[in-house]
Amino acid sequence: MTSVDPKSHQHIAKAEIERVALEMFAAQGFDATTVDEVAAAAGVARRTFFRYFPSKNDILWGDFQGLLRELENWLASVGEDRSILDVIADASVRFNRVHTDGASAHRERMELILHTPALRANAALRHDEWRAVVTKYAARRLGQSTDDLGPQVVGYTALGAANAAYELWLRDPSAELPKVMRKAFKIAQALPTGT
């Protein structure tokens, strides 16, 4: 008798709900798609849907908390022989890599996240969480508090560079996200300091 790992089953169910939802959002729009429709199409009950996702908005973010933990762990493991923004550029490329759903699905997901009015507040909260991880890294490297101006400027600069890269990537189907992301950070690093 073969036993089924409940966590594996949960992961499969969550992935299926996410896949179905993304297809429905692409076909009929985010706002026009209800939780009940997604649950029915994925073959799960409404309660099961909410066991995996607190809201419809959360579907688009996948395992965002897991990715943040990976980002924080990676930043903690990197040496101090490179500039802060070079390291954050690499971290941003790692964090924003295209996952198993492919580049086309990743574009659709990011298009929804960045350009759907109903998702902007949710996106702002997630961006704040990402920025907090980057700010913590910058504070450690600068020997300052996360509330100090230097780490805060680094965090906001990194978020701005990453968002600018995403916007260009979404406008230009031929653009490669890692290249655009690295270029955005090079531009940020080359900005005059005014001092």
142 CB contacts (<8 Å, ≥6 apart)? Answer: 84, 148, 150, 151, 154
Q: Which domain holds residue 127?
A: 63-190
Per-residue pLDDT of 6-55, as tens digits, reads 454 555 688 889 889 988 998 898 999 999 999 999 999 999 999 999 99
- Residue 3 has a pLDDT of 45
**CB count, 10 Å around CB of 42?**
21
What's the mean pLDDT when you consider all of the chain?
A: 87
CATH number at residue 75: 1.10.357.10
CATH number, residue 17? 1.10.10.60
Over 60: is that where the pLDDT of 191 sits?
A: yes
DSSP secondary structure letter of residue 79:
-
Would you say residue 195 lies in a domain? no
User: With the C-alpha atoms ordered 152, 153, 158, 160, is the resulting torsion angle positive or negative?
Assistant: positive
Burial class, 133, CB count within 10 angstroms (exposed 0-12 / middle 13-18 / buried 19+): buried
How high is the pLDDT of residue 4? Answer: 41
- The tally of domains found in the chain comes to 2
